[in-house]
Amino acid sequence: MSLTALIPLLLVQQAPAKTVDWDAEFGVEEEVRDPVTGELPVDPYDQSNTNAGAEPISGDRMAEQFGGQEGIRIIVNRMVDLSIEDPRIAAIFEGHDHVRLRRTLFEQFCYLLAAGCDYTGRDMESSHAGLGIRKPDMNALVENLQRAMRERGVPFGAQNRFLAKLAPMSRSVVTRK
């Protein structure tokens, strides 16, 4: 082949590959964490304490037995740490915003235990829609919560009173047989 015949071929080979923005092609939007809270954005929803799924326990006693807001935060973080590492349920938490989860769970527990918080998260049904949670997943989470409460020395009676508050919510959370 002559050199002049080769030139167009070489040019084609060396042309820079056209870069395609596949995110744009597929309509994928990049999610950006809030610089202050570190949370990812969520679709708008009505904020209300009724989203917490139950009424707060009356009196101050339970809040005290959980160690106030500080104790509740430690228990929530421990329960989340155990759950995202728990081979039985870790996959369900993958790809979800753990920063938001820790904050909203803390608010919910603090509200229900009458420890002085409002709950600003979503209701239990919409928070868990599409996650495909089954009864054994719920049992695993409850076990992790029990362990977190036990480690903090929450009295057994208080643990059970709190679990009884959460138990009816499994109807909104467990969506798969």
| Known binding-site positions | 128
Interaction between residue 170 and ligand HEM (CB under 6 A): yes
Q: Please choose, from the candidates 164, 2, 173, the residue with its C-alpha nearest in 3D space to the C-alpha of residue 89.
A: 173
Q: How far, in Å, are 33, 132, 169 from residue 71 at the CA level?
A: 27, 31, 23
Residue of 57, 62, 113, 137 that binds ligand HEM (CB under 6 A): 137
Residue type, 73: R
> To the nearest whole angstrom, how small is the minimum distance from the Cβ of residue 147 to ligand HEM?
15
Classify burial at 22, counting beta carbons within 10 Å of its beta carbon; exposed 0-12, middle 13-18, buried 19 or more: exposed
* Residue 154 binds ligand HEM, judged by CB under 6 A: no
Environment class of residue 126 by beta-carbon count within 10 Å: exposed (0-12), middle (13-18) or buried (19+)?
middle
Nearer to ligand HEM by C-beta: 110 or 173? 173
Among 39, 49, 138, 152, binds ligand HEM (CB under 6 A): 138
Among 127, 144, 149, 159, binds ligand HEM (CB under 6 A): 127
Q: How far apart are CA 109 and CA 131, in angstroms?
A: 21
How many chain residues are in contact with ligand HEM, going by CB under 6 A? 23
Query: Which of 105, 62, 82 lies closest to 151, judged by CA?
Result: 82
With binding defined as CB under 6 A, does residue 159 bind ligand HEM?
no
Give the annotated binding-site residues for heme.
128
Query: Structure tokens of 104?
Result: 């909203």
84-103 binders of ligand HEM (CB under 6 A)? 89, 92-93, 96-97, 100-101
Q: State the minimum distance, in angstroms, from the CB of residue 169 to ligand HEM.
A: 4
Q: Does 169 bind ligand HEM (CB under 6 A)?
A: yes
Nearer to ligand HEM, 10 or 167 (CB): 167
Q: Cβ–Cβ contacts within 10 Å for residue 157, how many?
A: 10
In angstroms, rounded to a whole number, what is the distance separating the alpha carbons of residues 177 and 43?
A: 28
Interacting residues toward ligand HEM by CB under 6 A = 89, 92-93, 96-97, 100-101, 104-105, 108, 121-122, 127-128, 131, 133, 137-138, 141, 166, 169-170, 173
